[in-house]
Chains A and B, each alone.
Chain A
Amino acid sequence: MEIVLIGLNHRTAPVELRERVSFTANQAQQAAEELRSKGVLSETLVLSTCNRSELYGVPPESAEDSTGAMELFLATFHQVELMALGPSLYRRRDREAVRHLFRVSAGLDSMFLGEAEILGQVREAYQIAVDHGATGPVLNRMFQAALEVGKRARSETDIGKRPVSVAFAGVKLAEQIFGSLKGHSALILGAGATGEQVVGHLRDRGISRLRVANRSRERAQELAARVGAEVVDWETLPAALEWPDMIVSSVSSPEPVITREMIERAMAARSNRPLFMIDLGMPRNIAASVTRLYNVYLYDMDDLSEIVEQNKRAREAEVPRVEAIVSEHVDKFEVWQASVETGVVLGELRTRLQAEREAFLRERPAAMQHLSAEDRQRMAQLMDEMVSRVLLEPAERLKGVRDLRRKLQNLEALRDLFQLNREKP
């Protein structure tokens, strides 16, 4: 049983190449089917995200140079020159392939260290493969372990804890004031990209009500339609400020669009319920002096960028702890693999010896002529028992070996000596 992986990611390949060899869900399924029907792999899984395309597989026992065949397949499937693809590819086997997957799912191999999406993408890729019967016992076990590693990395360490994007940092900060965002409301000023990112996170965190205001009503309507918000007239802005618990502003304007007086009035109208504001404008949209108002919390781009920088460093500090979790699971997987292998080798050995016994009896018909059919059957049974007894102790010893390396060596030796090597009938 062997595990192979070939792939490329944001570290090894430029975005143009990554785009060309990426798989849609349908393509992933089609590729998995072809790989198996062509006999390149007996178990396959295609993991394709915006930052990586990877083929995981277990080749049939008899296959040789399966990575070469996989590379060729990848190049042909996407109509890319193998020569152009080759230098960007990484190839991993067994332990290293397993470790690679575990690191990917823990977020260690991501562009943003510890990002959460990758775990969902691994889960999805695995689900698709399982639904189409592309995986088998080995990849099932491996991907289930990978999902567990991803979960543990995020729950037991801070690798994915603190926000590393300005938009998410703003939303997390809001949660430090309001707790859950359910039952709270937000007003978005301006229809810029960062503002929209914030809105996406707000939606994810369950914000109840969203409104959008922009100087150009059209753009406000576009954004509102995309994110499911109501549109507020720009002219009614001072009054509109009374309504939300949270204001996100990213308007391009030479002078502040929200003055201290406007917020003072709004706070009086909302009887001083806390107001959280993010000013993403450059120059700033909100008069800085509003921070002095009671129950008003204002953060600008610099504040949020600083959080992001700090958090990135904090995540990097968590890497060794995540690597430890990865190693723990790689070892665990290998132990499982060895025990499965042990069962397989012992089974093959028994089959092999029984076949010998049959051949042995078949070759000597004369010596058995005087025996009745019943006696012959009895004799065959006794010889089977003999085979079992001979195997008993070595089997126990083999299973009892604690040291993984030795166990694998023993298995290899058995295969070698009894010629069990990858000879499927």
Chain B
Amino acid sequence: MFPLPAMTNYWLIATILCYAASFAGYVTFLATSHRNAGRAATLLLALGLGAHYLALVVRSQGSHTVPYDDLYGSLSLFAWLLAATYLGLELFHRQRSVGAFVLPVVLIVMLFAGRGPAVPAGQPPASGPLLALHITMNVLGYAAFALSFVLSLIYLVQNQLLRRHRLQSAVWQFPALETLERMSRSGVVVGLFSLLVGISFGLMWFHRIYGRYWNGDPKEIITLVILAVYAGYLWIGRTAAWRGARASALCVINFVFVLFSYSIVNLYLSGFHRFF
């Protein structure tokens, strides 16, 4: 499928296989409601997370920090945290039916990450526990937002099906509207929390090295914007005018800022943050 690099990271292959099998399990569960298919999917996802962790460890050997300085590594980290956050939400809300929509996102990111070299070419310019925590927590934040994005999208679809009386099978397989809303909100809460913590670590790290907090990097500005729009969602989503579909639409739109931060800002605007 993809040309394997010279130094093959077998854990990465195991990870992708586990995620793919887990995806198949979630789809089967969604289509047939077989409880065992759902259980198998969750188990495979957990196995995949384990293998993925080892893949990340193998990848980071030598650089002594979490992968952030190369696109593939940081995507892999993103996928891992996305899958982990999803598993957390699934277990917390006891709701398996959205796995079929989250796993494809994880898989696509992983397949892309898997195309990169098994071990990054050069030594990253900076390392240290503060930086590692800053990166991990921020990426976790973005992963949680991505999850809320998927959940809100499903909410919008389910809401349309219910309002238009399209009562074919999909309606019965999706989680309830209120469950989706709750899951989406908990995703945002997790995201906001980890982003705040991540930013704090980043600022501390920056202060230690350069003696000041604010760098004026466009990435810092867009991150503050992201914090603001998601905090806004949490607040506005409980008001009379917005609760329900409008709040979910807002959550979907908010994710555009995350994508903007991840793409345009990283590639063209920021000199400092390259891949996360």
Contacts and interface: CB of A to CB of B under 8 A. Distances in A.
B35 interface: yes
Interface residues of A, number: 28
Nearest to B175: A179
Contact of B163 (A155, A157, A158, A291): A291
B177 to A, nearest CB: 5
B167 A303 contact: yes
Given A155-B35, A273-B243, A295-B244, A178 B178 contact: yes
Interface string B146-172: 000000000000100011010111011
Nearest to A178: B178
Nearest to A318: B32
Contacts of A175: 176
Interface in B210-266: 239-241, 243-246
B207 interface: no
Contacts of A274: 177-178, 244
B243 A178 contact: no
A177 interface: yes
A107 B179 CA distance: 31
Nearest to A314: B169
Which of B32, B158, B167, B241 has the most A CB atoms < 10 Å from its CB? B167
B172 A176 contact: yes
A158 B240 contact: no
B176 A177 contact: yes
A179 B165 contact: no
Contact of B162 (A177, A272, A294): A177
Contacts of B35: 155-156
Given A155-B35, A161-B33, A271 B176 contact: no
Interface in B12-67: 32-36
A158 B33 contact: yes
Interface string A380-418: 000000000000000000000000000000000000000
Contact of B176 (A178, A294, A306): A178
Interface string B172-190: 1011111100000000000
Contacts of A176: 158, 162, 171-172, 174, 176-177
Interface string A146-163: 000000000111100110
Nearest to B32: A158
Contacts of B34: 155-156
B76 to A, nearest CB: 34
Nearest to A270: B240
A307 interface: yes
Contacts, number: 62
A294 B243 CA distance: 10
A123 interface: no
A272 B243 CA distance: 7
B158 to A, nearest CB: 8
B80 to A, nearest CB: 29
Given A161-B33, A176-B172, A310-B168, A272 B244 contact: yes
Interface string A185-210: 00000000000000000000000000
Contacts of A307: 167
Nearest to A307: B167
Contacts of B174: 176
Nearest to A271: B240
B179 A179 contact: yes
Contact of A306 (B167, B179, B239, B246): B167
Contacts of B162: 173, 176-177, 297
A273 B36 CA distance: 35
B36 to A, nearest CB: 8
Contacts of A162: 172
Contact of B165 (A156, A294, A299, A310): A299
A268 interface: yes
Nearest to B238: A271
A172 interface: yes
Contacts of B171: 176
Which of B158, B172, B177 has the most A CB atoms < 10 Å from its CB? B172
Nearest to B93: A179
A156 B38 CA distance: 11
A177 to B, nearest CB: 5
Contacts of A158: 32-33
A162 B179 CA distance: 20
Contacts of B33: 158, 161
A310 B163 CA distance: 18
Nearest to B169: A314
A166 to B, nearest CB: 13
B177 A177 contact: yes
A272 B247 CA distance: 12
Interface in A282-325: 291, 294-295, 297, 299, 303, 306-307, 310, 314
A110 B67 CA distance: 60
Given A161-B33, A303-B165, A310-B168, A179 B178 contact: yes
Contact of B243 (A155, A295, A303): A295
15 contacts: A155-B34, A156-B34, A173-B162, A175-B176, A176-B171, A176-B172, A176-B174, A177-B176, A177-B177, A179-B176, A179-B179, A271-B239, A272-B243, A274-B244, A303-B165
Given A155-B34, A176-B171, A272-B241, 9 more contacts: A155-B35, A156-B36, A157-B32, A158-B32, A173-B162, A179-B176, A271-B239, A274-B177, A299-B165
Closest 10 CB pairs of A and B: A271-B240, A179-B176, A179-B179, A272-B240, A295-B244, A179-B178, A177-B177, A307-B167, A303-B165, A178-B178
